[in-house]
Amino acid sequence: MRNVEELLLRIAKCPNVPVCLEGESPSHPCSKVVGSQGSLSLESFQVPEPWNGQLQTAPLLFLSSNPSVSGLEAYPAWSWSDEDIQDFFSNRFGGGKRPWVLEGKYALKSDGTRLRATPYWAETQNRASELLGRNAIPGIDFALTEVVHCKSANRIGVPEAAHECARRYLTQVLNMSAATVVVVVGKDAAERVREFFAIRVVSRMVGPSVVAGQRRLLLFLDAPGSSKRRILTGVLEEQQIQQARDLLRGRPPTGNGQMSPPLACAEDES
């Protein structure tokens, strides 16, 4: 548990943030995404989002491009205590000091009211429910993380920061994740994952393969809001869906039961 908490804080307090925010390295790959918030001070900067939910126990993980930013949400700033930052991300969907998210899709505002529903959260819950064959519980049945952890609007700075952020944290996050199925959401995240893990086969489903020390199945879906079909029965064969369900339930995989070779990955920064 301690290692999980340490990694959460390491990402939330990423050392690249003060370097970029203070203008010490304008050519840094993270300068654009960090600067996109327009924060006047480090203390008010909305911290990078490590993950949401119980990463170390959730059997399903959604991996997308980067989190969007909102000036209205009750969201951790750099000035928050380590304890409150840990509570927010681990218990964002329930069980924390405050109801950070209501009904799995309504973020808490600073004034105590709630924001409108977040489409991405609603969609991931729907896809998780499809995979599990029942109503999925956000944060418990599935966790959420990103390739780029800094928040920005309209993906500002994401292409520039993607390699640096993945190099530092992607394998470490997966190492801590209990997920046997990882759903990669959207074209940008898919391109980065395929590049980072040297996946050369273009397919909606890759594996099961050993990824970051554990047998996992990778599913590639289009991003919410796109015109492409995203319901699993519309993009995967029934046998593929059943294989994912078997892994999520701890059963041997369907078919011949053989695994693909381990996926290679660039070293993360320790």
Question: Which pLDDT value is given to residue 202?
Answer: 76
pLDDT digits (tens, 9 = 90+) for 6-50: 999 999 999 999 999 887 677 899 999 999 998 878 999 999 999
Residue 113 CB-half CA count within 13 A: 4
CA–CA distance, 207 with 193 (Å, rounded to integer) = 14
Interstrand relation of 106-108 and 101-102 (parallel, antiparallel or unpaired): antiparallel
More confident residue, 270 or 131: 131
Q: Which amino acid is at 265?
A: C
Question: Which pLDDT value is given to residue 264?
Answer: 52
More confident residue, 224 or 126: 126
pLDDT digits (tens, 9 = 90+) for 246-257: 999 886 555 433
Question: Is 259's pLDDT higher than 80?
Answer: no
C-alpha dist (Å) from residue 5 to 87, 94, 145, 174, 265: 10, 18, 15, 14, 23
Q: How confident is the model at residue 93 (pLDDT cuts 50, 70, 90)?
A: very high
Residue with token string 């995967």: 236
Domain locations in the chain?
A: 2-248
What percent of the chain lies above the pLDDT cut of 70? 90
Domain at 2-248: CATH code? 3.40.470.10
